[in-house]
Amino acid sequence: MDVEAILGPQLTLRQLELFVAATDHSSFTAAAKHAFVTPNAVSLAVSDLERALGVTLLVRQRARGVTSTPAGVQLAEGARALLRQASDLQLTVGDHGEELSGPVAVGCYSTLAPTVVPELWERLADRHPEIELTITEGTTEHLVGQLHEGRLDCVVAYEVALPLGLAVRRLYNARPSVVLPESHRLAGQAAVDLTELEGEPLVLFDLPPSGQNTLHLLRSRGLRPRVAHRTTNFELVHSLVGRGMGFAVQYQHSGVDVSQEGRRLAFRPIAPEPESEPVMVAWPERLPLTSRAAAVVHLAQDCLPVAEQAC
């Protein structure tokens, strides 16, 4: 369903805005509160859209709110993109001077956030202070879902986990390292050969794709990983390693060499050096970036390569 093609005199951006609010809140009443209108106004807007398009967009269920039909899901996705473009046009041609302003929503894979977000946010505040940056953290799968739903402008994630159909730009390469307790027999080495860790317990950071990448790396070096603990909590990995519960492999080094409990950790390069993992910024190929989002992407390409030195 091409939203821009079907948007004619009988359809308005306000109708699309109220429809999107209804899908986001799964309720006409909640959407009305969000949009500062009456529930009847939301219901009428949705009904007018359904009448104009000749399809059912939302299924009304008494006392259970509304749920989207397949056509409704498709329209909501396109409508969010169209509403963003309309907002961008207003901010671009309105009386706002030459300074870019307005919201930009960026999704960031959880473990990349401590390195990516502070650098990007600080540089953006200096370069484009009127852009309102919001960051959503999560798994790549979750973030890409939000990207296609129109809730995010772009996503920062490892290339290996990104699906087809996205425009991508490389930001930097992340290099894996071994994390050991400071007291470990190999902690004093300049680099660690993974084969020297054969048989030792592994604390696996298991937030996709990190867990799969770690296991693949170890197996490619002839190891049979003995997973002692799996967790999606990055700090818990450090705490367990700090207590000597095992070693870990991570692709992102925040620069802090102690666990939250204050136990010192040793981050050591892997020898022989494995292939690095590209970190990318991505957005849907079929949806153009707003001028604000494009500025954030360009800034990320300029400033985030410094993160490569910290990996």
Mean pLDDT of 22-33: 90
Q: Are 167 and 288 found together in one domain?
A: yes
**Phi and psi for 34 in degrees, rounded to 5?**
-65, -40
What is the number of structural domains in the chain? 3
pLDDT value at 97 more than 60: no
Q: Are 27 and 67 found together in one domain?
A: yes
Higher pLDDT, 133 or 84: 133
Q: Are 167 and 79 found together in one domain?
A: no
Residue closest to 247 by CA, chosen among 273, 220, 275, 228: 228
pLDDT value at 309 more than 50: no
Please tell me the pTM assigned to this model: 0.70
Q: Are 182 and 252 found together in one domain?
A: yes
Per residue in 118-145, pLDDT tens?
Answer: 999 999 999 999 999 999 999 999 999 9
- The tally of CA atoms less than 13 A away on the side-chain side of residue 233 is 10
Mean pLDDT of 72-81: 85
Instruction: Give me the chain's average pLDDT, please.
Output: 87
- Of 90, 120, 150, the position where a domain reaches its end is 90
Q: Are 200 and 159 found together in one domain?
A: no
CATH number, domain of 30, equals 1.10.10.10
Q: Are 182 and 270 found together in one domain?
A: yes
CA 41 to chain centre: 34
| Segments forming the whole domain that contains residue 289 | 96-174+279-310
pLDDT at 65: 85
Mean pLDDT of 302-308: 69
Q: 258 - beta bridge partners?
A: 264
Q: 9: how many CB neighbours lie within 10 A of its CB?
A: 5
pLDDT at 217: 94
Confidence of residue 7 (pLDDT cuts 50, 70, 90): low
End-to-end CA distance of the chain: 43
Round to whole Å and give the CA distance between 63 and 171: 48
Most confident of the following: 9-13, 93-97, 239-243, 253-257: 239-243
Q: Are 27 and 102 found together in one domain?
A: no
Confidence of residue 311 (pLDDT cuts 50, 70, 90): very low
Per residue in 153-195, pLDDT tens?
Answer: 999 999 999 999 899 999 999 989 999 999 999 999 999 999 9
Q: Are 149 and 186 found together in one domain?
A: no
Residues in Cβ contact with 33 at an 8 Å cutoff, skipping those fewer than 6 apart? none
Q: Are 169 and 293 found together in one domain?
A: yes
Round to whole Å and give the CA distance between 62 and 72: 19
Percent with pLDDT over 90 in the chain:
55
pLDDT at 4: 47
pLDDT value at 3 more than 60: no
Mean pLDDT of 19-43: 89
Per residue in 251-301, pLDDT tens?
Answer: 877 677 899 999 999 999 999 999 889 999 999 887 788 888 999 999 999
Confidence of residue 208 (pLDDT cuts 50, 70, 90): confident
- Of 41, 65, 90, the position where a domain reaches its end is 90
pLDDT at 10: 61
Round to whole Å and give the CA distance between 109 and 107: 7
Q: Are 300 and 239 found together in one domain?
A: no
Q: In what order do the strands lie in the sheet with 192-193?
A: 192-193, 265-271, 177-181, 248-250
Q: Are 263 and 284 found together in one domain?
A: no
- Of 49, 64, 90, the position where a domain reaches its end is 90
Q: What is the CA radius of gyration of the chain?
A: 24
Residues in Cβ contact with 244 at an 8 Å cutoff, skipping those fewer than 6 apart? 181, 183, 184
CATH number, domain of 106, equals 3.40.190.10
pLDDT value at 12 more than 90: no
Q: Are 48 and 37 found together in one domain?
A: yes
pLDDT value at 303 more than 50: yes
pLDDT value at 227 more than 50: yes
Confidence of residue 98 (pLDDT cuts 50, 70, 90): low
